[in-house]
Structures are given as C-alpha cells and as structure tokens.
Amino acid sequence: MGLKKSAFMHSKDQLPYLGIGLGLRREIASETLRSDKIDWLEIVPENYMRIGGHARRRLAKARAKHTIVTHGVNLSIGCADPLDQNYLDDLKALLDYIDAPWFSDHLCFTSFESDYMHELLPLPLTEQAALHVADRAKRVQEFCNRPFLLENISYYMDVPGSEMQEASFFARVVERADCGILLDVNNVYVNSINLNFDPYVYLAALPLERVVQIHVAGHSHTDTHLIDTHGAPIIEPVFELLQHVLERCDAKAVMLERDQNFPDFVEIENELDIIRKMVESTYSCKTARNICDSTIVNDLVAPL
Ligand SMILES: [Fe+2]
C-alpha cells in the first residue's frame, strides 16, 4: 500500500497545466499581451494591490486573455514580526480578482521590525527557523485558500549559525507546511557557483514532487560572482538543469523571468520557444513511458 497523499499533493493533482509563461512587466507589457507564444502570466502582486490607473487597466487586459498567478516580494515569510494582516487581506483580494490557481513568494525575509529592506535576504538554515517559516507558510496558504509555493532565492554568502544545507532546510519547510515549491533553476545554478556546491546534489535533496512552477532566467558575471539579474539570455548549464528537473517532476507551469536589459521582443519569444520544445518533448516522452508502463502492468495482471 502506498503512502497517504498530503492535502497539498491532492490539491496539486487538481491544478490546471498552464504551460509556458512570462512575467508581466510594464516595459514589455504591450508586446507580451499581443504575443501568441505565451500561455499564462505571472505578476508581482505588490504592483497591483490597492492600485488603480494604468496598472489596474493593464491587469484587467491581462486577465481577459490569460490565467495569472502572483509572485510576491513583501510577504517576508521568514521575518520575526507577526504576519502583516493588512498585506494578506490585500493579497487575498487580488488573488480572488484574478482567480489565481496558486500564488508564491520567496524563502527569505525582507523586513525587520516593520522596515522593508527591498532585498530578498537569506535565512539562517536552522531547525528553529524552518519551524517558524513552515508555521507561517501554512497559515498564509490557509488564509489565501489556494496552494502556496515558496521559491529558492539567490544569495551571496553562507548565513552564520546555519545547521544544515539549504536543500534540507527548503525540504523541511515545505514538507512541514505542506505547501509547494517554485523551483528557480537559475538560482540553483548561480548559488552553486557562488557558494561552491553541486547543483545536482542540491536537487536530489528536494521533494521534487512538490514542484508546481519553475523559473528559468539569465544572470550576469562580476570578477568574483554570478549575479541573478534576470537581464541576460539563459545559458546552457541552466537549460541542462531545467531538463534534469523536468524529467523528475510534474510541474504545472514553466516561466521565463526577464526583468531588465530587455532585448527585442522576438529574442524573448525565441527563448520561450526553446523552453516550450524542452517541456513538450520531455512531457510527451514521460506520457509515452507511463502508457507503456501501465500496459506492462495490465499485461502482468491480466487473467490468463
Ligand atoms: Fe525566480
């Protein structure tokens, strides 16, 4: 008898497959909304909460054409202050307005004693922090009444006092909270170079069955570090990580993050095409394999 599925894993089964998406950014909004290469959109909710005018009109247009999910930056899930109920009320109202199938934020903290730092800051990788974040993630997911995903961030130094590897910490949080993963494969790659670990060992330590959404992006170089800028084309080792992950999870959506240094929109569409080919060929191979496996099982149990 198999292990009992958690409530989150049951709800993941009910989620729609969205396909290939792009972040809705003001600078490329008109091309984004005209393009036929995009299946769904992600928005930064803080740009649309309690806001009218151009932003709200852009959102109304986007909502008429696409499924939209939110990817927040100010939830501050790891912060020691109480959860901000006003923020959660506004977020929930927005999620209801766009009818989002799920929503996400980052595994980090962004505020301290109500001061927002406008940075995604890494947490100490301790059991105490994991329990704290998991409890808050559970409450956020329940309040917003739809699946909640946490994303692995890029960061540039090991946090003092850490007791475990980041992947173990991430796994501990999402399993304890019974929530999902937004896996950013570019962040895994950037951190693996900057912090000197094997990205494939990192991935092996994650409960990849909880991945609902994947981010893929480009980054920049300094003399000493890779910087997660979302402002350059995706490089081959990141595509290889994406392929590796696609083969091991049933993600409902894959998204290109491009937030600055915008090229001609056709270059963005070309990257979307490459991602689409990878996703569709990997998923059709998996479907064929599953059909083949179930035929073998049926043959084995068929009465003689
Ligand atoms: Fe990301």
How many whole angstroms separate alpha carbon 105 and alpha carbon 92? 13
How many whole angstroms separate alpha carbon 29 and alpha carbon 58? 8
pLDDT grade for 302, boundaries at 50, 70 and 90: very low
CATH architecture of the domain formed by 7-301: Alpha-Beta Barrel (3.20)
Sign of the Cα torsion 227, 229, 232, 237 reads positive
Beta bridge partners of 68: 41
What are the pLDDT digits (tens) for 243-298?
A: 999 999 999 999 999 988 889 999 999 999 999 999 999 988 777 766 666 655 45
User: How many A from CA of 152 to the centre of ligand 1?
Assistant: 8
CA neighbor of 37 nearest in space, from 53, 52, 56, 20? 20
CA neighbor of 154 nearest in space, from 115, 195, 125? 195
User: How many A from CA of 86 to the centre of ligand 1?
Assistant: 25
CA neighbor of 169 nearest in space, from 144, 192, 191, 202? 202
User: How many A from CA of 216 to the centre of ligand 1?
Assistant: 7
Higher pLDDT, 9 or 286: 9
How many whole angstroms separate alpha carbon 104 and alpha carbon 257? 14
What are the pLDDT digits (tens) for 63-107?
A: 999 999 999 999 999 999 999 999 999 999 999 999 999 999 999
**How does DSSP assign 66-103, residue by residue?**
SEEEEE-S---TT-SSPP-HHHHHHHHHHHHHHT-S-E
List residues, by chain if needed, whose CB lies under 5 Å from ion ligand 1.
184, 215
CA distances from 197 to 141, 259, 265, 272 (A): 31, 27, 34, 28
How many whole angstroms separate alpha carbon 72 and alpha carbon 75? 7
User: How many A from CA of 257 to the centre of ligand 1?
Assistant: 7
How many whole angstroms separate alpha carbon 122 and alpha carbon 187? 13
User: How many A from CA of 291 to the centre of ligand 1?
Assistant: 33
User: How many A from CA of 295 to the centre of ligand 1?
Assistant: 38
CB burial string 49-58: b at 16+ within 10 A, e below: beeeeeeeeb
**30: number of Cβ within 10 Å:** 12
User: How many A from CA of 227 to the centre of ligand 1?
Assistant: 13
**293-304 average pLDDT score:** 51
Ranges of each domain in the chain: 7-301
Beta bridge partners of 31: none
AA letter at 89: D
Token match 């993600």: residue?
A: 251
How many whole angstroms separate alpha carbon 31 and alpha carbon 61? 13
Q: Is the pLDDT of residue 227 over 60?
A: yes
User: How many A from CA of 131 to the centre of ligand 1?
Assistant: 23
User: How many A from CA of 128 to the centre of ligand 1?
Assistant: 25
AA letter at 42: E
